[in-house]
A and B are shown apart, each in its own frame.
Chain A
Amino acid sequence: MSNYGWLRTLLFFVIVFTVQSTVGEWLQILGIGPDFVVIFVVSVALRFGAATGCLWGFLAGFTQDVYAPVEWLGANSIAMTIVGFAVGQLEERFLTLNLPAKVGVLGLAFFVNDMFYFLITGLEKDVVTTLFVTKTVPECLYTLVIGGILFYLSSGKKANV
């Protein structure tokens, strides 16, 4: 990644977190909203590979950790690092993924992130089951729709360039 690329990703990172704190709330339906942060980590990891995916995954997770209970510090960082690394293995330099495949990767990443988060925070099994049904599944579906649109728009832009 070039120096210009780092700066651009940093700006993208700030925009994503601002969007998550503003637009993310406005888009909520019955308390269910999309997760732009996972879309960001998946996009960066697919575009730049595992090492960069780990870095931005860790930074994104740490940013979420800062606003979570202090006792859970590190849970998001670890979960997002794992997502960044795993998705980075499918780097677009070596593989060409079509839109449905990218959306599929996003969905898997979402589940992996939540599962590791629940595992690390040590929540009880019943609580995890409830959260999985009431939060993870509906928010994953919502994120897939938003992520699919964003992936489609970005691929169109690339094609035009």
Chain B
Amino acid sequence: MLRAFRFIVDLFTQRHGVVAFAFFLVLGILLREASTQVRESVVESALSTVFYPVQLLASSINDFKNLQAENDHLKAENARLRQETYHASEGLQELARLHTLVRFDDKWDYPIVTSRVVGHNPGRFLTTLVINRGTYHGVKDNMPVMSMNGLVGKISKAMMTHSRVQLLVDPNLKLSVLERRTRVVGFLESMDGHLLSAMIPSHAGVAEGDTLITSGLGGIFPKGIPVGTVRSVRKADLDVMSLMDVEPFQEFSTLEEVFVMQKEPDWIIQELLDE
């Protein structure tokens, strides 16, 4: 056994590591060329086994560091909320009356699963998070994920006890958005896994500082979740469209807790996704 191990080590270290280099390069190319299904299963296995303990360790250290700051923040918030409770209860009663009057469809009436961020990309391009809630807790693929500040992304893969969250900055996530002031619909994406940009018709006159929310189109995200503010506007390749840089309401690298909205995609979207 030991001899076999030594033989392999000797083989790999021959010719200044050329054999090892070729081996790992081929392994990397195989990963690149594998089908999406194989890639998914590779990532899922790695996340569920080897990396999970390290993720927990890292998130525990982050939690410990943020405990004091969070405590102070919560105390201040508690005092403010106590004051607001009185006014809110009156407002709620009035809102309930108005809802009945206009037959308002409460679009966010979905159960929420609170979860803790237990892992994220240790590299410099943050596009995925891992949370400690999975199918066992009612989380399913494509459910919207948000924080107290705004939209975070969606569940890209729900596993038994944890799930992977595809962040808004993932270049593969494209999202229909609505500008709150002008009510014009556009779409949001990240081309580089780092910055968010939105494409909105020029005639709408969307300006710096305007707010983008989810449009409800696309069937995955409900309407009205805050997404971000427009930081700058410039002409797109097509004159009729404006391209704008968007500052998300939520800084993704500092996320500790997120909320999974138990909203499954509309049936027509679900069929398309299944296909």
Using A77-B27, A78-B28, A134-B194 as known contacts, say yes or no to A25 and B17 having CB atoms under 8 A apart.
no
Contact A37 B25 (CB under 8 A): no
Check if A131 is an interface residue, CB within 8 A of chain B.
yes
Check if A26 is an interface residue, CB within 8 A of chain B.
yes
Check if B168 is an interface residue, CB within 8 A of chain A.
no
Interface set, chain A 57-90, CB cutoff 8 A to B = 57-58, 61-71, 73-78, 81-82, 85, 88-89
- How many Å lie between the Cα of A78 and that of B13 in the bound state? 19
Contact B31 A21 (CB under 8 A): no
Task: Name which of A45-53, A97-105, A149-157 contacts chain B.
Answer: A45-53
Question: How many A-B residue contacts, CB cutoff 8 Å?
Answer: 153
Using A135-B124, A139-B124 as known contacts, say yes or no to A130 and B192 having CB atoms under 8 A apart.
yes
Q: Which residue of the partner chain, among B17, B20, B194, contacts A135 with CB atoms under 8 Å?
A: B194
Give chain B nearest CB distance to A124 CB in angstroms.
Answer: 7
Check if A20 is an interface residue, CB within 8 A of chain B.
yes
Check if B16 is an interface residue, CB within 8 A of chain A.
yes
- How many Å lie between the Cα of A76 and that of B128 in the bound state? 15
Total number of A residues with any Cβ neighbor in B under 8 Å: 54
Contacts of A28 in B (CB 8 A): 253
Contact B191 A127 (CB under 8 A): yes
Question: Looking at chain B's contact residues, is the secondary structure mostly helix, strand, loop, or mixed?
Answer: helix
Contact B21 A68 (CB under 8 A): no
The proximity string for B residues 11-33 relative to A, scoring 1 for CB distances below 8 Å and 0 otherwise, is 01100111111011101111111
Interface set, chain B 110-148, CB cutoff 8 A to A = 119-125, 127-128, 130
Residues of chain A whose beta carbon lies under 8 Å from any beta carbon of chain B: 14, 17-18, 20-22, 24-26, 28, 31, 33, 35, 37, 49-55, 57-58, 61-71, 73-78, 81-82, 85, 88-89, 120, 123-124, 127, 130-131, 134-135, 139
Contact A64 B192 (CB under 8 A): no
Contacts of B21 in A (CB 8 A): 50-51, 54, 81, 85
Check if B217 is an interface residue, CB within 8 A of chain A.
no
- How many Å lie between the Cα of A69 and that of B190 in the bound state? 13
Q: Which residue of the partner chain, among B12, B17, B122, B172, contacts A20 with CB atoms under 8 Å?
A: B122
A selection of 9 A-B contacts at a CB cut-off of 8 Å is: A18-B61, A21-B58, A21-B122, A25-B254, A54-B21, A55-B12, A55-B20, A58-B24, A67-B121
Contact B121 A77 (CB under 8 A): no
- How many Å lie between the Cα of A28 and that of B59 in the bound state? 17
Total number of B residues with any Cβ neighbor in A under 8 Å: 57
Residues of chain B whose beta carbon lies under 8 Å from any beta carbon of chain A: 12-13, 16-21, 23-25, 27-34, 36, 39-40, 42-43, 46-47, 51, 54-55, 57-59, 61-62, 65, 119-125, 127-128, 130, 156, 166, 170-172, 191-195, 253-254
Give chain B nearest CB distance to A89 CB in angstroms.
Answer: 7
Interface centre among A20, A61, A76, A78 (most CB of B within 10 A): A78
Closest 5 CB pairs of A and B: A50-B17, A74-B31, A67-B121, A74-B32, A51-B17
Closest to B170 in A: A69
- How many Å lie between the Cα of A127 and that of B19 in the bound state? 35
Using A21-B62, A51-B12 as known contacts, say yes or no to A65 and B31 having CB atoms under 8 A apart.
yes
Contacts of B46 in A (CB 8 A): 62, 66
Contact A58 B47 (CB under 8 A): no
Contact B28 A22 (CB under 8 A): no
